[in-house]
Amino acid sequence: MYRVLITDDLSKSALALLQDTPGIEVDVRSGKHTPEQVREYLKDADGIIIRSATRLTPEVLKDQPRLKVIVRAGVGVDNIDLPAATREGIVVMNTPAGNTTSTAEQAMALLLAMARNIAPACASMKAGKWDKKSFTGTQLAGKAIAVIGLGRIGLTVARRCLAFEMKVLGYDPFLSEERARNEGIELYRDIDELVGKCDFLTVHTPMTPETQGLINATRIAKMKKGVRLINGARGGIIDEAALLAALQSGHVAAAALDVFVEEPPKDWTLAQHPQVLSTPHLGASTEEAQELVSIEATEIITGFLLRNEVRHAMNMVPVSAAEMAVIQPYLDLGRRLGLLLAQLNKGGGVRKATLNFRGEAASMKTQLIASAFASGLLANAMADDVNIVNADLLAKERGIEIKEELSNETGDFSTLVSATIVTDNGEITAAGTIFGKQFLRLVRLDQFHLDAYLDGLLLLYRHIDRPGVIGYIGTVCGQHSVNIAHMALGRERNEPGGDAIAVLNLDNEPDSTTLAEVAKNPAVTGVELVKLPKAGEPLPWLVCR
């Protein structure tokens, strides 16, 4: 049974949907909470759904042994410390689709109301005045609007602006030129080239270190005198001090703001400026949006907990339930190769790891498999709980570069994942494949090709290929009641006398005396015991912790 904590308001229908889902237990904590209270609640939670009221700080998220997933019912994740969640191995997801229309409509409402001076005209009427001359506006048709950020909301706004016969200029580093042409948008890759050509400008980017202050004093100075700005995305994307100065100088004719750096503002100077149309972050404040984001949040968290589905993740590669069913054996293979190489590395610092994906493996989401490999490589070397979410970050912090190479060529196997680690003591290589849909095999270890089971206890027996060596190890294991379940042999060249290796899958662990006796044979050059998960053992991140 998975427990989901709810600390902010969800719609009644969404809450009922979650409570009626088999396998899910809901812990509803209504009202205001201190960080200490939230931290305490999370100790018994597998997942949490929040809105904007709950703040998940590093202190709240630190050492939560059970928490696996955070879902923000909304677009922004400003109230979640994303690096802290990633370090703790917690997946963070949001609900970008639910409030797209409402947020875009709010931007259009701001645009229209600002252009036609609706708010001050209404206030004048409320005061009993009939003053037409003071509120002359400007029409949208024929004007150029710059849409900064052409994601889901930005594109929705752009389409509505085109319906008002506006010329839409767009900036987005990822949207293709072909898609922009099809949408009727004149695409720019340089904001500085764009800002001087627009009559209106609206921002629709996430808040990141790169987008904070994106529209600053320098860029505002490049704009036409009389430009009008809209921010319905996140406070701070348009520099508030620079905007206020431009309004006071008359360079910016007007601004419409639904968001602020501090909400509510401590300094109301900008919000109360006569040329600013301001609203209290109403972008998603419609009945429809509140309902949709709540339902979407419940669907996302149940999909993750019950079907290992990752949708709209902020710190992990998204993967559907269908994709997870296909890729799960590859994640297991990657993790086991990481565990194997970590144990074969005798004290040398790992500097680099290269993963080569061949055949069917190359068509998978290889970044996830690489993350699974990294989690295995680091599993026994760190006090932190390492999983597929935080493994890449922890590897980078330890100075380990993880590189991927892809090839559609199949070679001897229809699918193959090969991993090589570069350590202070040299290189170690291991390669694995999948037989059928679930049987994991070790098919290469350094220069040796073989066919060993990649599970349980593995005794690696390096020796000179001469008669009697294999019989000797079998005899020693028998004398010490160590049962051999499977044996695979590999040798450097296809003739006796060279270096060889035997990989034995054991049913029970040999003690130090047994290993020492195995190593006594003069033909033996090395004996190593590797411990891997048992066959079919589930991945630790895909089960309730």
Least confident of 14-18, 137-141, 397-401, 511-515: 397-401
Residues in the chain: 545
Distance CA 521, CA 463 (A): 9
Report the pLDDT value the prediction gives residue 207, as an integer from 0 to 100: 82
Instruction: Output the CA–CA distances (angstroms, integers) from residue 406 to 356, 416, 451, in the order listed.
Output: 6, 10, 23
Asked if 371 contacts 392 with a C-beta cutoff of 8 angstroms, the reply is yes
Query: Confidence class of residue 545 from pLDDT cuts 50, 70 and 90?
Result: very low
Please tell me which residue, 435 or 76, carries the higher pLDDT value.
435
Q: Do 146 and 171 touch, CB atoms closer than 8 A?
A: yes
DSSP H/E element including 136: none
The pLDDT assigned to 444 comes to 94
The strand pair at 439-445 and 448-453 is best described as: antiparallel
The more confident residue out of 215 and 97 is: 215
Q: What is the pLDDT of residue 48?
A: 97
Give residue 96's pLDDT: 80
Name the least confident of 152-161, 358-367, 485-494.
Answer: 485-494
The tokens for 410 are 């199949």
Per-residue pLDDT for 543 more than 80? no
DSSP output for 212-236 = TTSB-HHHHHHSPTTEEEEE-S-TT
pLDDT of residue 316: 86
> Which residues in 142-167 are b (16+ Cβ under 10 Å) and which e?
ebbbbbbbbbbbbbbbbebbeebebb
* Structure tokens, 245: 């100065």
Whether the predicted pLDDT of 544 surpasses 70? no
Q: pLDDT tens across 460-497, in order? A: 999 999 899 989 999 999 999 999 999 999 988 777 77
Reported as a pLDDT band with limits 50, 70 and 90, residue 181 is very high
* 263 is a catalytic site residue: yes
Per-residue pLDDT tens over the stretch 418-453:
999 998 888 999 999 999 877 999 999 999 999 999
The more confidently predicted of residues 76 and 9 is: 9
pLDDT one-digit tens code per residue, 198-255: 999 999 998 888 899 999 999 999 999 999 999 999 999 999 999 999 999 999 999 9
* Given the residues 165, 177, 263, 405, the one annotated as active site: 263
Alpha carbons 43 and 216: distance in angstroms, whole number: 43
Q: Is residue 255 helix, strand or coil?
A: strand
Which one is catalytic: 87, 219, 281, 336?
A: 281
> Residue 496, preceding bond cis, omega within 30 degrees?
no
pLDDT at 384 over 60: no
From 51, 204, 234, 335, active-site residue: 234
Tell me what the mean pLDDT of segment 2-22 comes to. Answer: 94
Residues 106-142 have pLDDT tens digits of: 999 999 999 999 999 999 999 999 999 999 999 999 9
Q: CA nearest 110: which of 157, 71, 63?
A: 157
